Structure 1
Amino acid sequence: MNKIRKKLHFNAFVMNTVSHIHHGQWRRPDAKQSEFNDVNLWIELAKLLEAAKFDAIFFADVTGLYGDADSEFDIYAKEGLQIPSNDPIVLLSALAAHTKDIGLALTSNILQSHPFHFARQLSTLDHISNGRVGWNIVTGVQDNGSRNFGLGQLTDHTERYEWAEEYVNVTYKLWEGSWDEGAVLKDRINGIYSDPSNIHKIHHRGNRYSVEGPHLSSPSPQRTPVLFQAGSSESGRKFAAKNAEAVFIAAPSPEVAATQIAETRRLARDLGRNPEDLKFFQGLSFIIGDTSEEAVAKSKEYDRYVSVDGYLAHTAIVDKNGRVYDRNTPIKDIETNTVRGALELVSKYITDREPTIADLVYLRTHNPHTCIVGTAEQIADKIEEWQEAGIDGINVVNWVIPGSFEEFADEILPVLRTRGLAQSEYVSGSFREKIFGSAFLNERHPAARYRGAFRGHDKLRG
């Protein structure tokens, strides 16, 4: 008897830039990502993904350059390596107007926008999209990005997550507590649009923020957007276990993923949440052929465009003084304030010798577990192995836009549907309803404690 499997979720993992993950591929004649400034490229991609029943289009983002903030940045400019890049929140407002079902998720760093302003932006986008917004909460990994917002260098790793806790609490108070249900009346007869007794200031006073409120946006369809998080370090896993609904992972193998997922679910249970409150999305890229031989030949063609310099620049790891480590540095000798989770995963994957930074670069380009080459059936087999490890979905990483997603939609998704692993139609409702079956955050999420917390004299002032 065939095993009944749960359907997986699929996000298109993109960035409004030239070179996002697979560097050098923008030079291919069939690559359109070099035209990323053209909104029509993204509108057509979003329509393609929606027709294929992808769950979401997810935009990564950065606030600065990678590597040594005091060094030249020529390599990044030459490669188009996340410079130039544009603000995804602006782009998503355009995509919201041209789609109706696909989720619209974006990354926003706690540095780049004050939580009061950001909460209002996301509420607005959730209104515009009829409840299809998701937020990937990140704390930043770049000294240059920190300098762009007035800091000398990247804040200490542990302190960044403490900062993130206050940041999300401000947004939770605004989204969940500032407006009660039924506050918006639209009473034309009595001339009352909103009932002021059901709108509350939040009076937040914390280490970094002082926010009086009230939230200027009325409650959006989801109130709080679907919450994503991508940290894989110890601090990142704890933050995800407490706050995330969906967790992005970049494990080098299903076995490593299984360990990471089990640990994060255990942490969630310890915090009073249901371990199944979290869904895990693994990043994977695909090269598809009608035969194994054709797929391998296509892979070699992709290799012709690989920019080793681009991958090295993207994986530049700095020490605590901001200097870049040599690529041959053993992982065990690295002391860094960034990407700790990625280094931990490499160490768990390579156990027969001391792994180096060069291994991290190699795994991003040639790891057969995460850069899967084969026929649609062979790729579906590999995806099932990842599902066995505990993932709930996949972030599909493109080589070229739109071709990588066209191939996935036309060749892989039909096979997955026959195996019961991919949806054929959207569930009605908001993004959260499509993924979790409920319109709002459940009562186990920490944001739920702010519902009704600011009525009358029961104001929380911290």
Structure 2
Amino acid sequence: MSPRRELRLNTFQMAAPSHNWAGLWSHPRDNQTQYNTLAYWTEMAKTAERGLLDGIFIADVFGLYDVYGGSGDAAIAAGAQAPNADPTLAISAMALVTQHIGFGVTANLTYEHPFQFARRFTTLDHLTGGRLGWNIVTGYLDSGARGMGESLNRDHDERYEAAEDFMAAIYKLWEGSWEDDAALRDKARGLFTDPAKVHRILHDGAYYKVDGRALAEPSPQRTPVLYQAGTSARGRVFCGRHAEATFLNGQTPSIAGQAVRGVREAAVAAGRGPRDVLTFLGGTVIVAKTSAEAHELKEEYRRHINAAGQLALVSGWTGVDLSQLSLDDALSFSKSNAIQSTLENLTLKAKAPTRVRDLLDFTPAGARAPIFVGSPVEVADQMLAWADEADVDGFNLVRTVMPESLEAIVDLLIPELQNRGAFKTAYREGTLREKLGGTARLPDSHPGAAYRHRSAP
């Protein structure tokens, strides 16, 4: 019997009072109200690294969830991903108190420019010692567009066309502007950098234009590890070309497995290997020493879910105003400019109709992904069964009540997985990309590698 493939695990966080489960900040033992303090992030990072987690994956959204009832009031009142803070700014503090854990940071490229973005993320890769990942998103909330002076967000597929243009420009800056040995730090000659080895980037795209040399010298990874979230038809094409890891959802193993197969096929179509993209499935874990305790916790947590806030989140994800439906109404599919794969999973691909009330509980429909509840043995059984059936490489574990949900994963679940040979017992050395099983920098098979500077013969 061949040895089991080790799971990859991230803790899934957000710089907001609530992430995927609106209202849990109101639990008396919860500390998510401290999301805007450094102590929240540094203590969480130390706990996650103690458990040998692969990364801290930080979600972000640019805008308010205002589809529900045509107003953002429900989301604001419930603290449902609002207020939210810039997810990049706590990274250097977490890096200072850890040595190995990676940081997957969500950043919306629609309202960025490649020239300034390249410098910011190169800086973070320097300060983390090469432990940075970028979760590439294009945004889906019209409220964010209006805040930036636009009447509406770009159409779904056009967002990916703009993203392709952004990636071409950013690869040129990260991979092609500075040669590896450009920064000499030669004190004897008083020469810090050889100007001949820092090259001007010219990019004249449909959405982005760049004329200049990259401002920051190359970081340990040059290009951070590239994550991507989006399994619509157009999203899969983008993922297959660019992503090194992808985050996906699916409330049954068959739905998740279909998404995984789509990603692997897209990678092959882009000239890459089918396993060049690691797949992370969302998952909510409620684990305790005994099954009975875990189910008691589930009911305890459930009482703190804010119904209006939760429906505001789902309305924003799907583009459907759920305030117009009763609790017993079933969702139906309609084309929208939001996250198309989410609504497809809840409607077209669901085994049974998804009712509005199903979204307000710790169910796979409510989570859009699996719910793992029980003792360490039971949760490990459930996770490994899902990983085998859906062929995922690991999970992004959504926070519930903090810090106890993360501490339970570290102290109860991880040892059980390690005993089964399903999780590592030590970190690999090197950059985040190396820790995830790759090379220090983009592999030659990745499209970004084509933008590297080639010295004239």
TM-score normalised to the size of structure 2? Answer: 0.94
Q: Deviation at 1:292?
A: 2.3
2:360, 2:375 → 1: CA distance?
Answer: 26
Q: What is aligned with 2:271?
A: 272
Q: Deviation at 1:113?
A: 2.1
Q: Do the aligned partners of residues 170 and 366 (structure 1) sit closer, same or farther apart at CA in structure 2, a change above 3 Å counting? A: closer
2:392, 2:344 → 1: CA distance?
Answer: 19
Alignment of 1:58-457 (within 5 A): 58-68=57-67, 71-317=70-316, 326-327=324-325, 331-347=331-347, 349-352=349-352, 354-355=353-354, 359=358, 363=363, 370-388=370-388, 389-452=390-453
2:453, 2:315 → 1: CA distance?
Answer: 46
1:345, 1:339 → 2: CA distance?
Answer: 10
Q: Deviation at 1:293?
A: 2.3
How far does the alpha carbon of each residue in 1:144-174 deviate from its partner, in whole angstroms, 9 at most, with x for none?
0111222111110000000111111111110
Verify the 8 A CA contact 2:249 2:369 in the aligned structure 1. no
Q: Deviation at 1:50?
A: 0.9
1:42, 1:372 → 2: CA distance?
Answer: 25
Moved more, 104-113 or 372-381: 104-113
Verify the 8 A CA contact 2:32 2:402 in the aligned structure 1. yes
SS of aligned partner of 2:407: helix
Verify the 8 A CA contact 2:201 2:212 in the aligned structure 1. yes
Verify the 8 A CA contact 1:317 1:336 in the aligned structure 2. no
How far does the alpha carbon of each residue in 1:394-429 deviate from its partner, in whole angstroms, 9 at most, with x for none?
111111111110000000000000111111111001
Q: Deviation at 1:91?
A: 1.2
Verify the 8 A CA contact 1:253 1:349 in the aligned structure 2. no
SS of aligned partner of 1:438: coil
2:124, 2:22 → 1: CA distance?
Answer: 31
SS of aligned partner of 2:347: helix
Q: How many residues align?
A: 453
SS of aligned partner of 1:88: coil
Verify the 8 A CA contact 1:68 1:143 in the aligned structure 2. no
How far does the alpha carbon of each residue in 1:83-125 deviate from its partner, in whole angstroms, 9 at most, with x for none?
1111111111221222221101210001232111111000001
Q: Deviation at 1:368?
A: 11
Unaligned runs of 5+ in 1: none
SS of aligned partner of 2:168: helix
Q: Deviation at 1:187?
A: 1.9
1:28, 1:360 → 2: CA distance?
Answer: 20
Verify the 8 A CA contact 1:124 1:220 in the aligned structure 2. yes
Verify the 8 A CA contact 1:158 1:235 in the aligned structure 2. yes
Q: What letter is aligned with 1:407?
A: A
Q: Deviation at 1:273?
A: 0.5
Verify the 8 A CA contact 2:75 2:308 in the aligned structure 1. no
Q: Deviation at 1:289?
A: 2.9
Q: Deviation at 1:133?
A: 0.4
Verify the 8 A CA contact 1:319 1:334 in the aligned structure 2. no
Verify the 8 A CA contact 2:287 2:374 in the aligned structure 1. yes
Q: Are 2:33 and 1:34 equivalent residues in the alignment?
A: yes
Moved more, 91-100 or 150-159: 91-100
SS of aligned partner of 1:404: helix
1:250, 1:373 → 2: CA distance?
Answer: 18
Misfit runs of 4+, over 6 Å:
322-325
Verify the 8 A CA contact 1:143 1:153 in the aligned structure 2. yes
Q: Deviation at 1:54?
A: 0.8
SS of aligned partner of 1:222: coil
1:103, 1:281 → 2: CA distance?
Answer: 14
Q: Do the aligned partners of residues 138 and 264 (structure 1) sit closer, same or farther apart at CA in structure 2, a change above 3 Å counting? A: same
SS of aligned partner of 2:40: helix
Q: What letter is aligned with 2:370?
A: T
SS of aligned partner of 1:290: coil
Verify the 8 A CA contact 1:285 1:396 in the aligned structure 2. yes
Q: What letter is aligned with 1:341?
A: S
Q: Do the aligned partners of residues 96 and 291 (structure 1) sit closer, same or farther apart at CA in structure 2, a change above 3 Å counting? A: closer
Q: What letter is aligned with 1:222?
A: Q
Q: Do the aligned partners of residues 361 and 211 (structure 1) sit closer, same or farther apart at CA in structure 2, a change above 3 Å counting? A: farther
